[in-house]
Amino acid sequence: MASNVSRRQFLQTAACIGGLGAGSAARGQNEVASLAGTRTPAQELAASRPSALNEANLRALFDKAMRLSGVAGAQMAVIKGDQIVEVAGGFADAPNGVPMTVDSVIQIGSTTKILNALTVMSVVDEGLLDIDAPVKTYIPYLKLSDPVATNTITIRQLLSMSSGVDNGPYKKYGSGDDAIERYMRTLGNLPQHFAPGAHYGYSNCGTAMAGHAAANVKGQTWEELLSERVLDPAGLDRFAHFRRQLGGRTISLGHELRDGRSPKTIQPFLDEARCAGPSGAAMAMAMGDLVRIAKLFLTKGRTESGTQALPSSTIDLMMERQVDKPSRRYGTAWCLGPAYANWNGVDVWGHPGGTETALTFVHWAPSLDGAIAFAVNTSSGVGPFAEVMFSEVLEEAFGFTKPSFTEPDPDLKPIDHARYVGKYRKIDRHIEVKSQDDGLIATYTDNYFGVFYKKTALLRPLGRDRFLVTDPEGQGGYPSDTAFFGEDQRGRATNMLENVFPTSRVS
């Protein structure tokens, strides 16, 4: 049974949860095999698996994940070729006995960034956005703390998480059509962590910039543009930006499990979170629809109805690696929207997401013509649930599993503590890293939505400036890593990834 988790812990887990991980050495093997005209490991896997999904087996594994995790409710959708299996279980609202069905919508959090990237790239295809032009070209009132960054950050850098701009504050700017613009006009004090294009650093704010630029040049709201370019062509109808779109459809609540008592529920944000819509604060969707978004990457942009939502060349471009990642929880590289990793010989793209009400994952493997999406509405159980999904469900459906990213390098050497010790910050978090015999210890002081708290975690070295984060509070039983990068004149790291978010050394 999942342990108790507070509302604050739920939010922290949602902010940093990740799905892709492990190394990319096998990618080179795949490329060599392809050039030699032999079958790649992924192709060998595809040939060894049954051509059809076994719905009964997948349902049994979903039930196992529900049982082991103790989550209140969950959904799973798996695609292989033209076959799709959708499964739901538990409750969307446990205290009131409202069941979770395959048609219930769940807040998908940052997996929305895949939809946003598709939307932005459709406007690039139209010739109205230049992916390598400064975003300020399309948002003339944009002003960041760094004048050079203000005038040089590009759409490509924003979509690939390489702009260097801070993750941004978690605030609300109303439910009006001007919500994103109001947000964009408040970024004058936003930290710039490194020169645009120099490194990787995840930014919700940067995603909102890219989405707003596309909507601006079209003279539409972001939600209108997303529906016109992605949701409508794909024939999707199990989603909601706004409460008025729910109609009679059930939307899942978040759940905090409490020993011996009914779960505490958390209401989802929708209209009131419009300022961060492109980055994932509001969108709710059924997993059956989300996995169909992933299928666009399998079919080179062709929808189930046969229309071409995006050119195949654009889909290929979106999956090209743009920047390597020093940490591994989210993958080994970032593309134009999705993350990339190689899982035991199979190239995989995808994105995780989290809000206060749900944690969501979507991944696709083009070489196997398959994709999976799943979500839970109880963060304390995400670890056991995801373990079944990434091991047993992937094995059953496609013949591969997600490898561990928590093992140290075989040639791990003693670390130079002086490189890492110091204080780092981003807009809503301060981190102090101190030396400890068996690694480092980090103290985090946070301000999420005006709630201040402090926690401590042990950082165990994994090699190459990467560390396993041992958090006493836990993150739903799901492991995390962090990494340092850059170098000042004294050989110290200039930046630290707080999970995936960039921070800068301040002392």
What's the rounded Cα separation, in Å, for the pair 485 and 496?
A: 6
CATH of 417-505, one of 3.30.1450, 2.30.29, 1.10.3470, 2.40.128: 2.40.128
Q: Where would I find the beta strands (DSSP E) of 120-230? A: none
What's the rounded Cα separation, in Å, for the pair 379 and 473?
A: 12
Query: Looking at this protein, which amino acid is placed at residue 224?
Result: E
DSSP letter string over 368-392?
Answer: GTEEEEEEES-GGGHHHHHHHIIII
Residues of the chain with CATH 2.40.128: 417-505
Residues of the chain with CATH 1.20.58: 129-218
- Can you give 260-309 as a three-state secondary structure string? CEEEEEECCCCHHHHHHCCCCCCCEECHHHHHHHHHHHHCCCECCCCCEC
Tell me the CA distances in angstroms from 352 to 183, 337, 424, one per residue in order.
Answer: 24, 11, 25
CATH 3.40.710.10 given to domain 9-114+225-349+358-375+386-398: yes
Q: In terms of DSSP bridges, do strands 429-436 and 106-107 run parallel, antiparallel, or are they unpaired? A: unpaired
Instruction: Give me the tens of pLDDT residue by residue for the chain, a chain 507 residues long.
Output: 334 444 444 444 444 444 566 544 444 444 434 444 555 666 666 566 668 999 999 999 999 999 999 999 999 999 999 999 999 999 999 999 999 999 999 999 999 999 999 999 999 999 999 999 999 999 999 999 999 999 999 999 999 999 999 999 888 899 999 999 999 999 999 999 999 999 999 999 999 999 999 999 999 999 999 999 999 999 999 999 999 999 899 999 999 988 767 789 999 989 889 999 999 999 999 999 999 999 999 999 999 999 999 999 999 999 999 999 999 987 999 999 999 999 999 999 999 999 999 999 999 999 999 999 999 999 999 999 999 999 999 999 999 999 999 999 999 999 999 999 999 999 989 999 999 877 899 999 987 656 677 889 999 999 999 999 987 555 556 778 999 999 999 999 999 998 899 999 999
Contacts for 246 with CB less than 8 Å, ≥ 6 apart: 105, 240
Phi, psi of 97 (to 5 degrees): 70, 25
Tell me the CA distances in angstroms from 146 to 20, 166, 275, one per residue in order.
Answer: 32, 11, 22
Identify the CA nearest to 433 among candidates 500, 501, 497, 487.
497
Contacts for 447 with CB less than 8 Å, ≥ 6 apart: 428, 429
Say whether 313 sits in a helix, a strand or coil: helix
Residue that has been written with the tokens 């650093």 in this structure: 201
What's the rounded Cα separation, in Å, for the pair 87 and 359?
A: 16
Residues of the chain with CATH 3.40.710.10: 9-114+225-349+358-375+386-398
| Domain 129-218, CATH | 1.20.58
Q: Answer yes or no: are the C-beta atoms of 108 and 280 closer than 8 Å.
A: yes
